[in-house]
Amino acid sequence: MTFSDYAARGKNAWWRYLVASVVGFLGGMVVVSLALYAAMAAHWAPANLTEEIKLPVHPLVFFPATGLIFGGLALGFVAAARLIQGKRFGDIVGRWRWRDFCWGAGLWLAVSGVTALIDFAIHPRGFTVTASAETWGLAIAALFGLAIQTFAEEFIFRGYLTQGLLLATRRPLAAALLSGAMFGALHIPNGTPQAIEATAFGIVTAMIAIRTGGIAFSYGVHIVNNLFGALVVVSADDVFKGAPGLFAQKGAQLVGWDAGFQVVALAIALWVAIRMMRLD
């Protein structure tokens, strides 16, 4: 089945997509807010939890809370799509193959490693070893929280929204461009370079989802991308700055190079996905 076939399931009038998106977002935020405040009231979380979740330097709070927030949003969209559009979870995920996930994860692990090695060769003084006893806790917390966060983003953006845009435009490229622009817009608070990278990332991963028929490949790419940045090489210019990862990197002068290399790597990822489809 194609991604369009999965998208066509359920009730797809434009107003249903609009209502389901609003209900899914608001419903998810209500659930998240209640869960966070219940955790604080029961003393399962620090009283200043709303501030702690903004600080990656406290990974045992930041990453589980991140997973809770994004997990709540995903559940909101799952429920809204089911109730308002009659869409099942699997309809939005599309074709799931662990082979696709492993290809995406393995490819992006190689890309992230090569990028870090080139950055080190260009500016070795920008790297410092920051591994400590806290790194083990970070690894567990980040794996838990980011596995949920990245899946939620793939489910909502590369699954639900991309499917809706594909039905509306009937053109894969147009759907991917619009989906990527929306994803990039949400990253504007993180700075212009990250917003540009997120836009390119969103466009290509949406195309990959369309080409492979599901979000498995793009989820593999996304989870490795975030885990590497939170655990292996933590950039001072990234949203995870301050996390006690294996290495810390300061290199504002390399931001442009890294962004350019990532665009090339995304093009390679898209080629691999297309090639995989031809081999099926």
The whole-number average pLDDT for the span 32-47 is 77
56-95 per-residue burial string, b: 16 or more CB within 10 A, e: under 16 = bebbebbbbbbbbbbbbbbbbbbbbbbebbebeeebbbbb
At residue 257 the predicted structure's pLDDT band, cuts being 50, 70 and 90, is low
pLDDT recorded at residue 280: 59
The whole-number average pLDDT for the span 76-88 is 97
Sequence-distant contacts of 46-55: CB under 8 A, at least 24 apart:
55/242
pLDDT exceeds cutoff 60 at 22: yes
Quick one: which of 80, 63, 86 has its CA closest to 11?
A: 86
C-alpha span between 223 and 228 (Å, rounded): 8
Q: Minimum mean pLDDT among 45-49, 207-211, 271-275: which range?
A: 45-49
pLDDT recorded at residue 176: 96
- Burial of 279 from C-beta contacts in 10 A (0-12 / 13-18 / 19+): exposed
DSSP assignment letter at 124: G
Amino acid code (one letter) for 218: S
pLDDT exceeds cutoff 60 at 62: yes
C-alpha span between 75 and 153 (Å, rounded): 12
At residue 19 the predicted structure's pLDDT band, cuts being 50, 70 and 90, is very high
C-alpha span between 272 and 198 (Å, rounded): 20
pTM of the predicted structure, to 2 decimals: 0.91
pLDDT exceeds cutoff 70 at 25: yes
At residue 278 the predicted structure's pLDDT band, cuts being 50, 70 and 90, is low
The whole-number average pLDDT for the span 252-274 is 74
At residue 148 the predicted structure's pLDDT band, cuts being 50, 70 and 90, is very high
C-alpha span between 95 and 156 (Å, rounded): 15
How does pLDDT run across 195-227, given as a tens digit for each residue?
A: 888 899 999 999 999 999 999 999 999 999 999
C-alpha span between 122 and 164 (Å, rounded): 43
pLDDT exceeds cutoff 90 at 149: yes
pLDDT recorded at residue 34: 86
The whole-number average pLDDT for the span 25-51 is 80
pLDDT exceeds cutoff 70 at 109: yes
Quick one: which of 5, 164, 151 has its CA closest to 74?
A: 151
Q: Minimum mean pLDDT among 46-55, 88-97, 122-131: which range?
A: 46-55
How does pLDDT run across 156-200, given as a tens digit for each residue?
A: 999 999 999 999 999 999 999 999 999 999 888 877 777 888 899
pLDDT recorded at residue 215: 97
What average pLDDT does the structure give for the chain? 89
How does pLDDT run across 113-147, given as a tens digit for each residue?
A: 988 898 888 888 889 999 998 999 999 999 999 99
